[in-house]
């Protein structure tokens, strides 16, 4: 481009200079105009043509040099530079090795919502292969996982500079998310369950250090009861329920309240709303004593009539008289797209929007963040 501009400039200068060699009059075939001025003009034109050729050659070299330099770094949508993938290097390797995006702490953060991970694709189910591809897509696009608690604390230590945070949230505590299998009398995490796939992916990608969020039910139907409460639900056993929750808490995954049995909170009285939320918190505490629950996810995104009860309230057990209080810092919506940054003055932790991760919703969300240049970058 720059070489072309130089050539155009030189041509313009030549056309400007030639008329100034002599008076602005036409050449004639008689008299001194032809015999006296033509040799001089020819000499000057030839000299200028040679100079122009040299300019053109230098310009071409500058264009080539510029193209070569540009091949080393391509500007990304965040305004920074990302290295081009060298020959023989995978996209994921290139992304991991070249995180040179400009920081944007006011950008948006994708908070994903998953339900069932199995062998079907529906509104609330994705296949295991789909889930693996989502993990790889996020990784290749320069995203690294954090929890909602980390987002609240503005703790992005597990996200390398130039990369972006992403939150994986699993709702409803189905067996497909966390399933045990027995081998030689010992319990092992089923590698085809969501947590098994997650662990395998993390083992293959050492810089995938963050964890996910599990918004659980401890009294839901169809096995949505701390990941399966009977052999009829993917071979799980009631005795395995609390150990699964404890394993998650002990290994850095965030435990989130999602009500007792997925109650649509807009339909119930204040008393029932508080019972639903408090009794689920009690269940989590039974597995991980003293665990501080900081996040609550609204079933189907439906708010109680008394909205603040979604994050603060209490319930008194009529049998024991014991009161259980809850106070959450964050409430998750069911949809709405990538959420605001905690650095954004308009950030509302009691209304964190999410991306429903089915179909190609994740890719669309990431593409839009890049296109609109609204992606959070550390």
Kindly report, residue by residue over 197-228, the tens digit of the pLDDT: 999 999 999 999 999 999 999 999 999 999 99
Identify the sign of the CA torsion 112, 116, 121, 126.
positive
Sorted by where each begins, the domain ranges of the chain are 2-72, 104-372
Distance CA 148, CA 156 (A): 11
Q: Measure the CA–CA gap between 99 and 169, rounded to whole angstroms.
A: 25
Structure tokens at 68: 């070569």
pTM of the model: 0.75
Helices 194-204 and 128-140 cross at an angle (nearest 10°) of 40
**80: confidence class by pLDDT, cuts 50, 70, 90:** very low
The pLDDT tens digits of the residues spanning 268-308 come to 999 999 999 999 999 999 999 999 999 999 999 999 999 99
Q: What pLDDT sits at residue 321?
A: 98
For tokens 């091949």, name the residue: 71
The pLDDT, as a whole number, for residue 43 is 35
Cα torsion 304, 306, 308, 312: sign? negative
Q: Check if the beta carbon of residue 357 is closer than 8 Å to that of residue 113.
A: yes
Distance CA 371, CA 366 (A): 9
| Angle 161-194-368 from CA coordinates, rounded to 5° | 45
Whether the predicted pLDDT of 191 surpasses 50: yes
Query: CA 238 from chain center: how many Å?
Result: 35
pLDDT band of 119, cuts 50, 70, 90: very high
Please tell me the class of the 104-372 domain.
alpha beta
Planar angle of CA 337, 85, 1, nearest 5 degrees: 95
3-state SS assignment for residue 67: helix
Q: Which helix (H) or strand (E) holds 151?
A: helix 148-152
Neighbouring CB atoms inside 10 A of 148's CB total 26
How far is the C-alpha of 179 from the C-alpha of 228, rounded, in Å? 8
With both helix axes pointing from N to C terminus, report the angle between 128-140 and 361-372 in degrees, rounded to the nearest 10: 20
Residue 86 tokens read as 């060298």
* 122-169 pLDDT tens trace: 999 999 999 999 999 999 999 999 999 999 999 999 999 999 999 999
Q: Give the residue from 63, 84, 65, 64 showing the smallest Cα distance to 73.
A: 84
The alpha carbon of 109 is separated from its chain's Cα centroid by a whole number of angstroms, namely 6
Residue 248 Cα to chain centre, angstroms? 22
* 41, two tokens: 């003009």
- Name the helix (H) or strand (E) containing 202: helix 194-204
């Amino acid at each position: 481009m720059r070489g072309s501009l130089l050539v155009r400039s030189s041509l313009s200068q030549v056309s400007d200079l030639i008329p100034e060699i002599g008076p602005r009059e036409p050449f004639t075939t008689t008299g001194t105009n032809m015999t006296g001025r033509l040799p001089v003009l020819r000499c000057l034109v030839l000299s200028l043509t040679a100079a122009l050729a040299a300019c053109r050659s230098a310009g071409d070299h500058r264009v080539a040099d510029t193209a070569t330099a540009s091949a080393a770094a391509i500007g990304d949508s965040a305004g920074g530079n990302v290295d081009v993938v060298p020959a023989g290097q995978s996209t994921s390797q290139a992304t991991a090795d070249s995180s040179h995006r400009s920081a944007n702490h006011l950008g948006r953060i994708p908070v994903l919502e998953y339900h069932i991970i199995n062998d079907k694709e529906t509104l609330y189910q994705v296949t295991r292969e789909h889930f693996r591809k989502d993990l790889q897509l996020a990784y290749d696009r320069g995203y690294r996982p954090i929890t909602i608690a980390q987002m609240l604390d503005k703790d992005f230590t597990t996200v390398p500079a130039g990369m972006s945070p992403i939150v994986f949230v699993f709702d409803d505590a189905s067996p497909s998310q966390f399933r045990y299998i027995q081998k030689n009398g010992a319990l092992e995490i089923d590698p085809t369950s969501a947590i098994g796939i997650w662990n395998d992916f993390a083992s293959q990608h050492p810089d995938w250090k963050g964890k996910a969020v599990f918004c659980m039910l401890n009294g839901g139907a169809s096995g949505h009861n701390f990941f399966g409460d009977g052999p009829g639900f993917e071979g799980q056993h009631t005795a395995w329920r609390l150990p699964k929750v404890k394993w998650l808490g002990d290994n850095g995954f965030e435990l989130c309240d999602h009500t007792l049995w997925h109650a649509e909170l807009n339909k119930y009285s204040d008393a029932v709303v508080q019972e639903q939320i408090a009794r689920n918190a009690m269940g989590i505490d039974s597995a991980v004593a003293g665990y501080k629950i900081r996040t609550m996810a609204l079933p189907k995104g439906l708010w109680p009539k008394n909205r603040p009860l979604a994050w603060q309230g209490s319930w008194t057990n009529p049998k024991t008289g014991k009161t259980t209080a809850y106070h959450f810092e964050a409430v998750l919506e069911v949809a709405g797209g990538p959420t605001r940054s905690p650095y954004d003055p308009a950030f509302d932790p009691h209304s964190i929007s999410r991306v429903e991760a089915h179909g190609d919703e994740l890719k669309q969300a990431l593409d839009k963040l890049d296109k609109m240049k609204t992606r959070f970058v550390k």
